[in-house]
Amino acid sequence: TCLHCDAFDGTLIQLYGAKKLILFPPNQLYNLYPFSLLNNLLYGFKRRASYSQIYPQKPDFQAFPKFKKALSQSYEVVLNQREILYIPVGWWHEVTCLGDGVVCSVNRFWRVLPIYRSFFSWNKWRIHLSSILAIPHFFAIGLTNIIGKDRKENLNRLLQRL
């Protein structure tokens, strides 16, 4: 997956094969160039605020100069078969499969406990706020599908996406 953060605590369980992860602490948010919250207002979830504009494997330091600082704070982990990695809320991470063979893993997410940890995670708040900002975009798409031609087909397609 590309560089992103999650709004919940989670684990990545590696069942088969191996994956490499690059992790960044929450305090590196603005050195990771996340998409703007306003993108959710304009594009829905196509450019989510929980995703970075950077590809850590091929960084463009001219376009994203502060990323060098984030790299100095990063952790690189190789997750092998039968290993589990805990990823706390708000930690940014990119996941890459290693090798050419089959790779299988499972993600598990749960509520952040103790609850006060949620209140102090700006990354978590950004994700929830971006979801709220995406609502007008979805209403506009829905309205366009209702009043446009091919209504039935468009509504079925919209319902399948949900």
Question: What is the count of structural domains for the chain?
Answer: 1
Residue 113 counted as domain residue: yes
When comparing pLDDT for 52 and 113, which is higher? 52
Establish if 19 belongs to a structural domain.
yes
DSSP string, 73-94: T-EEEEE-TTEEEEE-TT-EEE
Query: Quick check: is 138 in a domain?
Result: no
Share of the chain above pLDDT 90, in %: 55
Mean pLDDT of all residues belonging to the chain: 89
pLDDT single digits (tens) 111-157: 877 877 777 788 888 888 888 888 888 788 777 777 777 777 777 77
Give me the residues paired with residue 75 across strands: 23
pLDDT attached to residue 143: 78
Residue 90 lies in a domain: yes
Q: What is the CATH number of the domain that holds 86?
A: 2.60.120.10
77 is a domain residue: yes
Is pLDDT of 51 > 70? yes
Query: Which residue type sits at 112?
Result: V
Domain that holds residue 16: 4-133
> What's the predicted TM-score (pTM) here?
0.80
Give the pLDDT score at 152. 77
Among 7-11, 88-92, 110-114, 148-152, the least confident range = 148-152
Please give the DSSP secondary-structure letter assigned to residue 27.
G
